[in-house]
Amino acid sequence: MTDLDVLEKVKNIIGNVNISKPYKPKGKETYKQTYKIAIHGAKAIGWMQTIYLFLSERRQQKIQECITSFKNKKRIPRPQRGDVWGPKCHPNRKRITFDFCQSCYMKEYRKKKKNLLEASLC
Ligand SMILES: [Zn+2]
Supply angle C-alpha 101, 96, 20, rounded to 5.
130
* CA of 94 relative to ligand 1 center, distance in Å: 9
* CA of 77 relative to ligand 1 center, distance in Å: 19
- Whether the pTM exceeds 0.85: the reply is no
Q: How far apart are CA 37 and CA 13, in angstroms?
A: 12
Q: What would the pLDDT profile of 53-107 be if each residue is shown by its tens digit?
A: 999 999 999 999 999 999 888 776 667 777 777 888 888 888 887 788 899 999 9
Q: What would the pLDDT profile of 14-46 be if each residue is shown by its tens digit?
A: 888 889 998 888 888 889 999 999 998 888 999
> At residue 34, what are phi and psi to the nearest 5 degrees?
-120, 145
Domain ranges of the chain: 85-122
* CA of 108 relative to ligand 1 center, distance in Å: 10
* CA of 103 relative to ligand 1 center, distance in Å: 6
